[in-house]
Structure 1
Amino acid sequence: MLRFTPILLALIYGIVLYRFSAWRTSRELDARSTELADPSLVPLIKDMAKALDLPRIRVHIYEIEPVNGLAAPDGRIFITRGFYDRYRAGDVSAEELASVIAHELGHVALGHSRRRMIDFSGQNALRTALAMVLGRILPGIGPWLAGMAMRLLSARLSRSDEYEADAYAAALLTKAGIGTEAQKTLFHKLEGLTQVRGATPAWLLSHPKTTERIKAIEDLETKWGTIS
């Protein structure tokens, strides 16, 4: 029984961490966001809502500077203030920002948002258990190996989710009459938009390569017989 104690403790830790993370994320988003009401973006959002047979899609601006989109575990869609400011400055078009919203809608529709938080908690729990076990077998480097294994697993799962959300967005943008061209042109811009003081953009660490994402969308266009 004692040998299973680390795993049991890790599972309890994971459940507690999940609940706390969900509460903290919701509280942070509530406190630092407002609903998007841009006159150029609202018609595009309405087109996507119509394509999904929804009465409305609510998008919020999250008041932080990094350029990013976010699908919250509760299903809400957010664009960061930094991303919106790039749009207002003309660096990003309305259609390109709409493609971000479509991508985040994909994460919600496909269950990625909620699963990612569960995965995050579960991975932390598994990391704790592995560190305890490997620490006994390989003192000093056991915890490091556990952390490395979880990072590789997380990156692989994240990239898979991104491809799926890209495909969902491509289908939605096509059905809404917006097309996928803006989705592809934005991919070319993202590295520059997310670059911070010469560091490797965090966006690139968890997302597939730009060329691979564009190729995947072009393959879908060929399959569907559509041209952006």
Structure 2
Amino acid sequence: MLKLAPILLAILYGLVFWQFSAWRTRRELDARATVLNDAALTALTHKMARALDLPKIRVHVYEIEPINGLAAPDGRIFLTRGFLDRYKTGEVTAEELASVIAHELGHVALGHSRRRMIDFSGQNAVRVALSAILGRLLPGIGIWIANTLVAMLAASLSRTDEYEADEYAAALLTKAGIGTQPQKSLLSKLENLTGMRGAPPVWLASHPKTPDRISAIEALEERWRVGS
């Protein structure tokens, strides 16, 4: 039992840390967010709400400059002010922003926030166990190897979530009559929009490579065509 104590403490730490992080995120969003008010985007969210048999989909604007979409742990959907600014200058269309909303709805519907809490706790326990073993076998570099292996695991799980959210969004956008073209066109723009060209190696990246995401959507569309 004593040997398991560090691992159990690591799991507990992961759960507590995640809850604290979710609380801090909620406070930040409450303080710096407003309800989205745009006629074209509202019309598109109404289409998606009808496709999901929901009365409405409420979207908030997070008042920060980085370009991003966010599904908060409490289920709220956010677009950043930076994204809205690009929309207002014509660099991003309303349909492309609707694809971001659909993607974030996917994260919520598929329970990714809750699953990440469990994943984080498990990863923390793995990190402690590996650090203890490798630190003893490979003094000096064992802990570094353990941290790298856990980072690779976390990145792999995150990439899986992104593919799943993309698939959900593709299905929703198709059912809503918006289609997947805006989803694919936005993905092709993201690197230029965000300026994130120096991406980490794929095994450490939290998001799949853009061509892989577009190819996955196109493969999904092909399966739908064959099955129809």
TM-score, normalising length: structure 2 = 0.91
CA separation of 1:46 and 1:98: change in aligned 2, threshold 3 A: same
Gaps of at least 5 residues in structure 1 are: none
Code of the residue aligned with 1:142 in structure 2: it is G
CA separation of 1:201 and 1:177: change in aligned 2, threshold 3 A: farther
Equivalent position of 1:157 in the other structure = 157
Report SS of the residue matched to 1:34: strand
Query: What per-residue deviation string (whole Å, max 9, x for no partner) do you get for residues 25-63 of structure 1?
Result: 111111111111111100000100010000111111111
1:13–1:125 contact (8 Å) kept in structure 2: no
Q: How many angstroms does 1:199 deviate by? A: 4.5
How many residue pairs align between the two structures? Answer: 225
Report SS of the residue matched to 1:206: coil
Equivalent position of 1:20 in the other structure = 20
1:18–1:118 contact (8 Å) kept in structure 2: no
Report SS of the residue matched to 2:39: coil
Q: After alignment, is 180-189 or 112-121 more displaced?
A: 112-121
Q: After alignment, is 124-133 or 180-189 more displaced?
A: 124-133
1:50–1:176 contact (8 Å) kept in structure 2: yes
Equivalent position of 1:37 in the other structure = 37
Residue identity (%): 69
Q: How many angstroms does 1:133 deviate by? A: 3.8
Equivalent position of 2:185 in the other structure = 185
Equivalent position of 2:215 in the other structure = 215
CA separation of 1:183 and 1:166: change in aligned 2, threshold 3 A: same
Code of the residue aligned with 1:94 in structure 2: it is A
Q: After alignment, is 1-10 or 210-219 more displaced?
A: 1-10
Instruction: Give the Cα–Cα distance (whole angstroms) in 1 for the partners of residues 9 and 220 of structure 2.
Output: 45
Q: How many angstroms does 1:86 deviate by? A: 0.8
Asked if 1:106 corresponds to 2:133, the answer is no
Q: How many angstroms does 1:145 deviate by? A: 1.1
Q: After alignment, is 18-27 or 119-128 more displaced?
A: 119-128
Gaps of at least 5 residues in structure 2 are: none
2:8–2:125 contact (8 Å) kept in structure 1: no
Asked if 1:74 corresponds to 2:74, the answer is yes
Instruction: Give the Cα–Cα distance (whole angstroms) in 1 for the partners of residues 199 and 218 of structure 2.
Output: 27
1:64–1:80 contact (8 Å) kept in structure 2: yes
CA separation of 1:117 and 1:34: change in aligned 2, threshold 3 A: farther
Root mean square deviation of aligned Cα: 2.1
Q: How many angstroms does 1:13 deviate by? A: 1.3
TM-score, normalising length: structure 1 = 0.91
Code of the residue aligned with 2:92 in structure 1: it is V
CA separation of 1:72 and 1:146: change in aligned 2, threshold 3 A: same
1:73–1:117 contact (8 Å) kept in structure 2: no
CA separation of 1:84 and 1:118: change in aligned 2, threshold 3 A: farther
Code of the residue aligned with 2:22 in structure 1: it is A
1:131–1:143 contact (8 Å) kept in structure 2: yes
Instruction: Give the Cα–Cα distance (whole angstroms) in 1 for the partners of residues 138 and 44 of structure 2.
Output: 56
